[in-house]
């Protein structure tokens, strides 16, 4: 059972990360689009579908399968330091997900005040978090 849960967890993480990397890139282009334009309206649809139909369900599945794995491994896993670092970064990544949702709502209401350069910079945040999480899980440095 553990191997199936682990596989579903990895699939969920991949889907979530794909969205976490793509949505800020959409925001880069959307920030440069004229408010009310056909291009801006198209970005709104793309962003909303990505966030609601892919990213959020994938995040929920990631958490469900991750917590299920913790249950299967048992409470002894919390004696290892790497799991605490991983969980801290997963919580931070979940918060970043919420931050992207806040920006999505700003774009949807034509209220975004951030420049494309801001979104270009934050596009790197999920990548850095993903690197740390993968190192914690695979290498288990402590």
Separation CA 123–CA 23 (nearest Å): 8
- Is the separation of the CB atoms in 28 and 116 below 8 Å? yes
Q: Over the stretch 84-115, which tens digit does the pLDDT of each residue have?
A: 999 999 999 999 999 999 999 999 999 999 99
Q: What string of DSSP letters covers 46-89?
A: HHHHIIIIIIHHHHHHHHHHHHHHHHHH-GGGGGSHHHHHHHHH
> What's residue 85's pLDDT?
98
Place of tokens 């249950």: 71
Place of tokens 């605490």: 84
Separation CA 93–CA 28 (nearest Å): 20
Q: How many CA atoms does the CB half-sphere of 5 hold within 13 Å?
A: 13
Q: Over the stretch 71-86, which tens digit does the pLDDT of each residue have?
A: 999 999 999 999 999 9
Separation CA 93–CA 20 (nearest Å): 9
Nearest residue to 58 via CA among 25, 93, 86: 93
pTM of the model: 0.94
> What's residue 30's pLDDT?
98
> What's residue 136's pLDDT?
97
Which SS3 state, helix, strand or coil, does residue 141 take? coil
């Amino acid at each position: 059972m553990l191997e199936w849960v682990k596989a579903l967890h990895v699939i969920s993480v991949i889907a979530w990360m794909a969205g976490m990397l793509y949505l800020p890139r959409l925001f880069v282009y959307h920030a440069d689009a004229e408010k009310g334009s056909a291009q801006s309206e198209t970005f709104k649809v793309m962003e909303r579908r990505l966030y609601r139909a892919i990213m959020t369900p994938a995040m929920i599945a990631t958490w469900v399968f991750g917590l299920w794995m913790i249950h299967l491994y048992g409470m002894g896993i919390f004696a290892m330091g790497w799991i605490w670092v991983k969980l801290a970064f997963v919580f931070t990544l979940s918060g970043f997900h919420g931050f992207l949702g806040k920006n999505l709502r700003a774009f949807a209401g034509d209220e975004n005040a951030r420049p494309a350069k801001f979104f270009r910079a934050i596009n790197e945040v999920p990548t850095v978090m993903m690197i740390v999480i993968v190192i914690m899980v695979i290498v288990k440095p402590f």
